[in-house]
Amino acid sequence: MTAIPFALGARHKGFNRAEVVDQNFLEFVQLWQRETRAAPRDDEAVLPGSALDARGFRELLESQLISRHLDLMARVLRVQNKVFYTIGSSGHEGNAMVARLARHTDPAFLHYRSGAFMAERFRKIPGMDPVMDSALSFAASKDDPASGGRHKVWGSKPLWVLPQTSTIASHLPKALGTAVAIEQARRIGHQLPIPDDSITICSFGDASSNHASAQTAFNTAAWTAYQKLPAPVLFVCEDNGIGISVKTPSGWVASNYQHRANLDYFFADGLDLAEGYAQVQRAVEHCRTTRRPTFLHLKTTRVMGHAGTDFEIEWRSIEELFAVECSDPLLRSAGIALESGLYSKDELLNLYEATRKRCFAAAEDADSRHRLTSLDDVMAPLAPYTPAAVKAEAERADYADRRLAVFGGEGKLPEKLPPRHLAIQIGQALHDLLAKYPEALLFGEDVAQKGGVYTVTKGLNKTFKGSRVFNTLLDETMILGLAQGYANMGMLPMPEIQYLAYFHNACDQIRGEAASLQFFSNGQYRNPMVMRVASLGYQKGFGGHFHNDNSITALRDIPGLVVGCPSRGDDAAMMLRTLMALAKVDGRVCAFLEPIALYMTKDLYEAGDGQWQFDYPAPDQAMTLGEGRVYNERANDLVVFTFGNGVPMALRAARTIEAELKWQVRVVDLRWLAPLNDAFIAAQARSARRILVLDEGRKSAGVGEGVITAIVEGGCGATPLRRVVGADTFTPLASAALLVLPGVDDVVAAARKLG
């Protein structure tokens, strides 16, 4: 970078660094004394030797100024409560080059310092106004085209910018997933919503590059490229040398990424448009043409602190601040503008002030628009549900020919075969769904040739081939990142998490990312999926906490997530159809919990009775979201609310209770654990003389708490009630596990206490 020939900041020791930065620009221009060239024509290099032409420079400069003045405006109007976000882009305005050199159909997952990127990308579609759109987002206006006022995000539906949450690095796995999906579409014959040679763009900070979610994306990108599989993702590390107040060791980013195998490193000077343009161009073109994961190390700086609330002067020396402020890329851009002869001082100052005016005017306009004023407004895009369309889709069975081919003939259709147990019927249902949805994919650890740890997915890989049913690398965060990527490209992913305990280390990919996309994009983007998870306790052959995790608390409170848990094979098949329909029709993110201990359960009361095997439901049968299953419907003496392993357990206990206490026992299988069907629970409770809530999960924060709340709020709080639950502990190995988890005897004992 050409050195800035002055250090104006030294004259300003003001507390408000935004004012200092603003003043620096003005003085820099006013005091400019260097020679000026004859202005280049539009298509000539802006400065000798630069790859950037004059028109390009002019537009980039305008984008940079828009970004800068949005930041300055936010600082001023925040204190007037007209703006609600002050994390800015100042110092990072060089990222406009990435936007210019990519296409607006290259899906972008952006760092929060992407104001200039956005302003530049807005040019790609004539008639769009980056200033007004951004102002609406800053003001949390309901008219904000990105999130409808739910968050200050960089996002746009027409510009393929998928809004990101605040969690740093959490967007890297799905950015890679989207890149992989772009390539995979061809292999499964799926029509992409964007051109086939698109790349994904994913920007983040230097400190964020250290995060586990970032590292898994780099690792998986390299793992993919190592196998000569395409992964056209452009990782853009905007290196300003600091994360809030923690400095990144000097040279760390280059040293860490320069020589990583299968992650192609490029450096670009993001502080200097004339210099950096060719460097960014090389990286973008490399990614697009080679389809290899590309790491663009973009040098930036950070002026005006981390956010408006960050008074750097309180924790950094003034000399350090001066130095940073002198590296402001807008000073360099001003220098190029003047030196090239493209702008006179007055023209540049006029442009600067006109942009300021434009940003303030837009902000005042945005402040006058309506905001979200009701809870219904806020929640409108969170959990879309169109019951009639979902039912029609779940029961749609217009793929008879494909079914015949998959199952191998009329006589082999599963509904024509004798009753079977859960594992088999899940497998059959998955065959059915992959036949029904050509855009569906099933993937996870060990799911392909082995058919999963419990052979539930056996045969799918052979029937549907490796491009639709495949093993991933061992990383749950990345499995869920891939799922989001496929979904972003219009496919229907069915990721498998091998055990519930291992969902927890990737939970944020559902909690903070997938489940929040419809909300933060105001319903414009969706990443539908059905996540299958082998779950819950009571395994006889394979013990210990991590293979018997009985807590679904972390799933239950994720807004908008649908959680279903069948206890028998026919329910599993019908539930899977409904979940896929919810994903397909309403874009919902769904979790399907498979009770491992019931996979092979065939008998209910006695060995060999075969009473826990059921007929496979014909493909036009499904169940409604929230619909439970009731056993012994007319019985009132005792009603047991339960799910999963609790269902056969309650039915077994009912026999003893009926014999001993002479009570008729009704068992209610909730089947749907989120959202809980409060009305259904209350209706079942109303006719009960006594109630047991049997929850195999832990006592604290388990499903049982929600069930009891629904009972009490439904007006049945006076009915004698007890809860049978797991203990608040981890599950030990071997038979000691049964000390922790509820059993038939506990259910009977609790019933006696109600007597």
Ligand X SMILES: Cc1ncc(C[n+]2csc(CCOP(=O)(O)OP(=O)(O)O)c2C)c(N)n1
Binding site for ligand X (CB under 6 A): 113, 166-168, 204-208, 238, 240, 242-244, 302, 306
By rule CB under 5 A, what count of residues binds Mg ion? Answer: 6
Q: Near Mg ion by CB under 5 A, which window of 202-210, 549-557, 662-670, 682-690? A: 202-210
Question: Contact at 8 Å (CB) between 563 and 531?
Answer: no
> Would you count residue 206 as binding Mg ion (CB under 5 A)?
yes
511 binds, among ligand X, Mg ion, none (CB under 5 to 8 A by kind): none
The CA radius of gyration of the chain, in Å to the nearest whole number, is 30
Question: Which backbone phi and psi does 441 adopt, to 5 degrees?
Answer: -130, 145
Q: Provide, rounded to whole angstroms, the least separation between the CB of residue 748 and ligand X.
A: 47
Residue at token pair 């998986």:
220
628 binds, among Mg ion, ligand X, none (CB under 5 to 8 A by kind): none
Residue at token pair 């009132």:
636
Beta-bridge partners for 169: none
Q: Which of residues 569-628 bind Mg ion (CB under 5 A)?
A: none
Q: Provide, rounded to whole angstroms, the least separation between the CB of residue 392 and ligand X.
A: 41
**CB nearer to ligand X: pick between 205 and 528:** 205
**CB nearer to ligand X: pick between 275 and 310:** 310
Sheet of 721-726: strands edge to edge?
A: 629-631, 665-669, 638-642, 691-698, 721-726
294 three-class SS: strand
Closest CA to 705 of 720, 719, 721: 721
Residue at token pair 């608390």:
553
Q: Provide, rounded to whole angstroms, the least separation between the CB of residue 326 and Mg ion.
A: 18
Q: Provide, rounded to whole angstroms, the least separation between the CB of residue 294 and Mg ion.
A: 20
**CB nearer to ligand X: pick between 75 and 302:** 302
Q: Provide, rounded to whole angstroms, the least separation between the CB of residue 708 and ligand X.
A: 35
**CB nearer to ligand X: pick between 302 and 332:** 302
107 binds, among Mg ion, ligand X, none (CB under 5 to 8 A by kind): none
**CB nearer to Mg ion: pick between 205 and 308:** 205
**CB nearer to ligand X: pick between 244 and 405:** 244
Task: Identify residue 324 by its one-letter amino acid code.
Answer: V
Q: Provide, rounded to whole angstroms, the least separation between the CB of residue 240 and ligand X.
A: 5
322 binds, among ligand X, Mg ion, none (CB under 5 to 8 A by kind): none
Task: Identify residue 72 by its one-letter amino acid code.
Answer: L
Cα–Cα distance between 209 and 218 in angstroms, integer?
Answer: 9
Q: Which residue is nearest to Mg ion (CB)?
A: 205
Cα–Cα distance between 281 and 100 in angstroms, integer?
Answer: 9
208 binds, among Mg ion, ligand X, none (CB under 5 to 8 A by kind): ligand X
Q: Provide, rounded to whole angstroms, the least separation between the CB of residue 189 and Mg ion.
A: 42
666 binds, among Mg ion, ligand X, none (CB under 5 to 8 A by kind): none
Q: Provide, rounded to whole angstroms, the least separation between the CB of residue 500 and ligand X.
A: 23
696 binds, among Mg ion, ligand X, none (CB under 5 to 8 A by kind): none
Helix, strand counts (H, E) of the chain: 27, 19
**CB nearer to Mg ion: pick between 239 and 508:** 239
Q: Near Mg ion by CB under 5 A, which window of 159-167, 206-214, 594-602, 638-646? A: 206-214
Q: Provide, rounded to whole angstroms, the least separation between the CB of residue 3 and Mg ion.
A: 22
Q: Provide, rounded to whole angstroms, the least separation between the CB of residue 100 and ligand X.
A: 20
167 binds, among Mg ion, ligand X, none (CB under 5 to 8 A by kind): ligand X
Closest CA to 279 of 298, 258, 251, 256: 298
Q: Near Mg ion by CB under 5 A, which window of 2-10, 236-244, 562-570, 571-579? A: 236-244
582 binds, among Mg ion, ligand X, none (CB under 5 to 8 A by kind): none
Characterize 435-470 residue by residue with b for buried, 16 or more Cβ atoms within 10 angstroms of its Cβ, and e for exposed: bbbebbbbbbbbbbeebbbbebbbebbebbeeebbb
Cα–Cα distance between 233 and 107 in angstroms, integer?
Answer: 10
**CB nearer to Mg ion: pick between 133 and 238:** 238
Question: Contact at 8 Å (CB) between 248 and 193?
Answer: no
**CB nearer to ligand X: pick between 111 and 292:** 111
Cα–Cα distance between 674 and 706 in angstroms, integer?
Answer: 10
Q: Provide, rounded to whole angstroms, the least separation between the CB of residue 253 and ligand X.
A: 10
Q: Which of residues 239-278 bind Mg ion (CB under 5 A)?
A: 240, 242-243
Q: Provide, rounded to whole angstroms, the least separation between the CB of residue 242 and Mg ion.
A: 5
**CB nearer to ligand X: pick between 156 and 170:** 170
Task: Identify residue 428 by its one-letter amino acid code.
Answer: Q
Cα–Cα distance between 203 and 498 in angstroms, integer?
Answer: 30
> Would you count residue 205 as binding Mg ion (CB under 5 A)?
yes
Cα–Cα distance between 241 and 656 in angstroms, integer?
Answer: 69
Q: Which residue is nearest to ligand X (CB)?
A: 205
**For residue 429, what are its two tokens?**
């249902």
Determine if residue 216 is left, alpha or beta; phi over 0 gives left, psi from -120 to 50 gives alpha, anything else beta: alpha
533 binds, among ligand X, Mg ion, none (CB under 5 to 8 A by kind): none
Q: Provide, rounded to whole angstroms, the least separation between the CB of residue 268 and ligand X.
A: 16
Residue at token pair 């828009």:
66
Q: Hey, CA dihedral for 729, 734, 736, 737, is it positive or negative? A: positive
244 binds, among Mg ion, ligand X, none (CB under 5 to 8 A by kind): ligand X
Q: Between the CA of residue 5 and those of 32, 327, 469, what are the distances in Å?
A: 10, 11, 60
**371 Cα distance to chain centroid:** 25
**CB nearer to ligand X: pick between 256 and 461:** 256
Closest CA to 138 of 377, 376, 369, 378: 369
Q: Provide, rounded to whole angstroms, the least separation between the CB of residue 99 and ligand X.
A: 17
286 binds, among ligand X, Mg ion, none (CB under 5 to 8 A by kind): none
Question: Contact at 8 Å (CB) between 124 and 104?
Answer: yes
Q: Between the CA of residue 542 and those of 499, 502, 539, 547, what are the distances in Å?
A: 12, 16, 6, 7
145 binds, among ligand X, Mg ion, none (CB under 5 to 8 A by kind): none
**CB nearer to ligand X: pick between 242 and 754:** 242
166 binds, among Mg ion, ligand X, none (CB under 5 to 8 A by kind): ligand X
Q: Provide, rounded to whole angstroms, the least separation between the CB of residue 239 and Mg ion.
A: 7
**CB nearer to Mg ion: pick between 305 and 628:** 305
**CB nearer to ligand X: pick between 144 and 238:** 238
Q: Between the CA of residue 306 and those of 15, 88, 90, 317, 482, what are the distances in Å?
A: 15, 7, 10, 16, 31
User: How buried is 17 (Cβ within 10 angstroms: 0-12 exposed, 13-18 middle, 19+ buried)?
Assistant: buried
Q: Provide, rounded to whole angstroms, the least separation between the CB of residue 113 and ligand X.
A: 5
**CB nearer to ligand X: pick between 242 and 326:** 242
**CB nearer to Mg ion: pick between 20 and 242:** 242
User: Which residues lie closer than 8 Å to 515 by C-beta, 6 or more apart?
Assistant: 558, 559, 560, 561, 589
> Would you count residue 327 as binding Mg ion (CB under 5 A)?
no
Which residues are at the interface with Mg ion (CB under 5 A)?
A: 205-207, 240, 242-243
